[in-house]
Amino acid sequence: MKNFIDCSETEVLNILDIRNSDFVRNMMWNRDVITLSSHLSFLKKLINNDEQLYWAVFYKDRLIGSVYIDMSTKKWGMYLAESCSGFGLDIELYFLLFLKESLLLDKVYGEVKLNNIQNIVLQKIVSTCEEINEDYILFEYNLCDYFSKSKNLKEIKRDILKRI
């Protein structure tokens, strides 16, 4: 992972391309195409912001998406390029472990839009449902309970995949 504010110009443009893809936009609250100037303005606001933390995610030196956490609400999220959507569970587990071990968070929340059926199935296994409304489901992740079951992420992933 690389903090958004440390990304190169090329990486910044690649992040924007992934975020603006139809695949990602259809799962986001804001489905509008984000302009380059709006994206750069957003990145500039992150420089001195300790509440909104965003990272670019890489696999084999290739940018594949983003993860983020709002420290005030403890809501986290992620998006991946369509070609890398199969990495979702791995990225999620590593990021949740990072939130627990590096940011020392015990509990976080995530919102999943109701049209994201595949993700809802997964989240019902790795978290608890807190609230359902007309647009999304709010999930709660108790990181201490979840990661105390096993220190081995492969075991956790195997357990999750058995239940899907």
Q: Give pLDDT tens digits along the chain (164 positions).
A: 999 999 999 999 999 999 999 999 888 878 899 999 999 999 999 999 999 999 999 999 999 999 999 999 999 999 999 998 778 888 888 899 899 989 999 999 998 888 887 778 778 777 777 778 888 888 988 888 777 755 566 777 666 666 55
Q: Can you give the pLDDT at residue 136?
A: 84
Burial tier of 92 (Cβ tally within 10 Å: 0-12, 13-18, 19+): buried
What's the full length of the chain, in residues?
164
Q: Can you give the pLDDT at residue 50?
A: 93
Q: Can you give the pLDDT at residue 150?
A: 57
CA 85 vs CA 82, 92, 146: distances in Å: 5, 11, 23
Q: Can you give the pLDDT at residue 116?
A: 81
pTM listed for this prediction: 0.85
Task: Identify the H or E element spanning 116.
Answer: none
Q: Can you give the pLDDT at residue 113?
A: 85
Residue 43's Cβ-side half-sphere holds a number of Cα atoms within 13 Å equal to 21
Q: Can you give the pLDDT at residue 164?
A: 57
